[in-house]
Amino acid sequence: MKITLIMPRAKHIAKKGTRLRIPPFGLTMVAALTPKEFVVSIVDENVRDLDFSQPTDLVGISSFTSNVERGYEIADEYRRRGIAVVMGGFHVTALPEEALQHADAVVVGEAENVWRRVLEDFKQGAMKGAYQADCFHDMKGLPRPRLDLLPHEGWYIVTQMVQTMRGCPYRCEFCSTSSFWGHTFRTRPIDEVIDEIRRMDRNKLVMFVDDDIAGVPQVAKELFEKLIPLRIKWASQAGIGIARDDELLALARKSGCQFLFIGLESMDDKTLQAAHKYQNNPKLYKELIKKIHDHHIVLQGAFVLGLDEDRADVFRRVDQLVQEAEIDTINVNILYPYPGTEIRERLRREGRLTGNDWSNYVYAGVNYVPKNMTQQELYDGFRWLMKKNTTYAMILKRTVRSMLQGRNVKLTASLNVGTRKNYKQAVASPDPIIFPHPAAEAGGRSSETGAAGKRS
């Protein structure tokens, strides 16, 4: 029997147009969990087009909010052809009943403890709607991801990925990580991680697909120490707290760290506190960023625009930090009130959600009424900040600076070029502002169905 696993392309994203160009790691893990009696293939629509005429017995579709509408289109077409469909991922985990209108089954949360049951029920012709494990996986004995099933056209910025942990104890109001992975860090046995890496090409970059590779410092130190003899180069995501621990940061670099994606989110302490991002202290940003740079690590600073305490000066303040701290590359997003997040529920109660057009949850989409600025001010400020930081002159400046200061030039250049592509697509996105209904403007409860409006 044949299984086709699909990563849909969000409607407003051009093929090969995403910023970070990361393979669909989750699908490679589902493929690894699949018994050998099934022949598995992976199709990433961000790289190549989907051919519905290719024979298959079962289709599995991954979902994020930004790509789920395309995912539903794919699911509907396969079911029209008489082929069973299973959906999983962040979005359908938050809204399984919505997904079951398009799929025969939904995997809620992690797949490790339920995937074989889904397949057994499929073989019996009796899939049972939503599948959810009674507990989280303990992270021991994870199979090696089927990276060999990914396309090899040379488009991905990385092709070697490893996971060392899941979960997050923090409760940032805008983040969906904890609702999917749980509110505690779960770590893999370090020796299992090292054994997996030993089998990889050590001349190619390795990406740790963790939300915070340094979230448990003692575990991270053990990992980094055991990585040193392997002489690899790696990239990952971490909290800014990695730079508060001198030993940890030094070990990260010594073990091969080339790049860190760090969520700075806001320059305002009041904004961070209101969003429950208690672990960040903006007063220390410049000092901590300098320490990361002193270890020759490329830093991508991530910011969320439009949180409740943000005012119209937030764009200038973010830009000021980016320039003064010499951040290598940025990831800037308007707040997306994703399903499953605390902030979405609060905005719903306050009547400030303006639509469920999931394809608008990307680039410059505005899907709610900000508290201290207008939707238009938020949209215009985002565009101003992105334009200013993605000019060719700015990309050249950052690339040269990385070269002179001993950081990874290729990563700096490619990430900045990717962010420029995203800015261009944001500008081209049709009607990214979902205007509020009169009920929302009056402070009453919005219908949440919304309507795309023309920008004035």
Query: What tens digit of pLDDT does each residue of 316-370 get?
Result: 999 999 999 999 999 999 999 999 999 999 999 999 999 889 999 988 899 999 9
The residue assigned the tokens 């499929």 is 122
Instruction: Supply the pLDDT for residue 454.
Output: 32
The backbone torsions φ and ψ at residue 151, rounded to the nearest 5 degrees and listed phi first, read: -65, 150
Q: Report CA 252 to chain centroid distance, whole Å.
A: 22
Cα–Cα distances (Å) from 200 to 101, 144, 332, in that order, read: 41, 11, 32
Reply yes or no on whether the pLDDT at 150 is more than 60.
yes
Stretch (H or E) spanning 312: none
Q: Look over the chain and give the mean of its residue pLDDT values, rounded to a whole number.
A: 90
Mean pLDDT of 188-198: 97
Mean pLDDT of 120-146: 93
Instruction: Supply the pLDDT for residue 187.
Output: 94
Mean pLDDT of 392-412: 97
Contact (Cβ atoms closer than 8 angstroms) between residue 202 and residue 232: yes
Instruction: Supply the pLDDT for residue 441.
Output: 39
pLDDT band at 154 (very low <50, low <70, confident <90, very high): low
Cα 39-128-165 angle, rounded to 5 deg = 65
Reply yes or no on whether the pLDDT at 452 is more than 80.
no
Instruction: Supply the pLDDT for residue 19.
Output: 56
Give the pLDDT confidence of 263-281 residue by residue, as tens digits: 999 888 888 888 878 788 9
Instruction: Supply the pLDDT for residue 15.
Output: 64
Among residues of the chain, what percentage have pLDDT more than 70? 93
- CA atoms of 145 and 193, how far apart (whole Å): 12
Reply yes or no on whether the pLDDT at 148 is more than 70.
yes
- CA atoms of 6 and 61, how far apart (whole Å): 5
- CA atoms of 355 and 360, how far apart (whole Å): 9
Give the pLDDT confidence of 225-252 residue by residue, as tens digits: 999 999 999 999 999 999 999 999 999 9
Q: Which of 154, 145, 61 is nearest to 105 (CA)?
A: 61
Mean pLDDT of 128-150: 93
Single pTM value for the model? 0.90
Which residues on adjacent β-strands are paired with residue 61? Answer: 6, 87
What are the structural domains of the chain? 2-131 (3.40.50.280), 157-428 (3.80.30.20)
Mean pLDDT of 52-80: 96
* Greater model confidence, 184 or 442: 184
The backbone torsions φ and ψ at residue 128, rounded to the nearest 5 degrees and listed phi first, read: -115, 45
